[in-house]
Amino acid sequence: MKIGLAVATGDALPSAFVVFRDDLDRCVDRCAALGYDGVEFALRYASQVNIPLVKRRLAATGLEVPCVSSGQVFSADRLYFTHPDVAIRDAAVQRIIEMIRLAAEFGAKVNTGRVRGVIHEGESPATARQRYLACIHRCADVAEPLGVELIVEPVNRYEVNFINNCAEGLEIIREAGRSCVKLMPDIFHMNIEDASFRLAFTAAKDYISYIHVADSNRLAPGWGHMPFDEVFDILADIGYNGYLTAEILPKPDPDSAARQAAQFLHGRLEKQLCKTL
């Protein structure tokens, strides 16, 4: 497994769960210095990335961009796939398509996250699903030829009311039936919504493409009471070998949070490796 850190540009909303808010090329350098393998870009617009400059920093450091995330499209601009207004849905799809084309430059995935939207008051879950699936198909039509995966992240009920747990994520992925649409569990949300880490991970093991990690309080791993030993044992059992990317709060300060996450995750990976020897 590899470890990553979610970062954003300096103008990211305070609500964005990122540690570093800086020029993205500097974020790459800061993550490399702390021992990360990759850096996830949490974006509002694809145009926020200076592609040639970032590629130079990636080449110099050996880091990757495993994922482009789109939470700010929802939180800052209120664009999402289930909106009753077709113009809003179209704008959300276009924003994600731009991120898909950006992701293709880096061999990255695109996290559709909260841009999937919500079930509106007075509307049925079936209506939300219909709108969501229509939008995800339009995105998949672009993503599949480019080899870009679209990852569905179940998010807890206190943030959205649609696709809250891994079982719901798995159900809609199967309903979509697109080869590029995969699951992205986030153990912070799982700790709220999924009754069992083992049952959730095991049921979805063939669809999991990427994982977000944070502790129970959204701080860096090791600073809360998340059962990480159990989680790492389960991931070993299901044969997961992808990224574990920290999506955490920058507390008590960004450098301390980023350092703690890197040290903790490297330590757990080393411990897991020792178990297999």
- Look at residue 103 in the predicted model and tell me its pLDDT: 98
Q: How many CA atoms lie within 13 A of 159 on its CB side?
A: 22
What percent of the chain shows pLDDT beyond 70?
100
pLDDT above 70 for 277: no
**Structural domains in the chain plus CATH codes:** 2-276 (3.20.20.150)
pLDDT tens for each residue of 170-180: 999 999 999 99
Residue 21 DSSP class: B
pLDDT tens for each residue of 187-241: 999 999 999 999 999 999 999 999 999 999 999 999 999 999 999 999 999 999 9
> Can you give the pTM of this predicted structure?
0.96
Residues designated catalytic: 153, 247
- Range name among 12-21, 202-211, 257-266 with the lowest pLDDT average: 12-21
- Residues 10 and 13: their CA atoms lie apart, in Å, by 9
* Top-confidence residue, 273 or 87: 87
Q: How many CA atoms lie within 13 A of 13 on its CB side?
A: 14
pLDDT tens for each residue of 133-192: 999 999 999 999 999 999 999 999 999 999 999 999 999 999 999 999 999 999 999 999
- Look at residue 28 in the predicted model and tell me its pLDDT: 98
Residue 64 DSSP class: B
- Look at residue 15 in the predicted model and tell me its pLDDT: 81
pLDDT above 90 for 1: yes
- Look at residue 126 in the predicted model and tell me its pLDDT: 97
- Look at residue 93 in the predicted model and tell me its pLDDT: 98
Q: How many CA atoms lie within 13 A of 49 on its CB side?
A: 32
DSSP-derived secondary structure for 207-272: TB--EEE--TTSSSTTSS---HHHHHHHHHHHT--SEEEE-----S-HHHHHHHHHHHHHHHHHHH
pLDDT tens for each residue of 66-116: 999 999 999 999 999 999 999 999 999 999 999 999 999 999 999 999 999
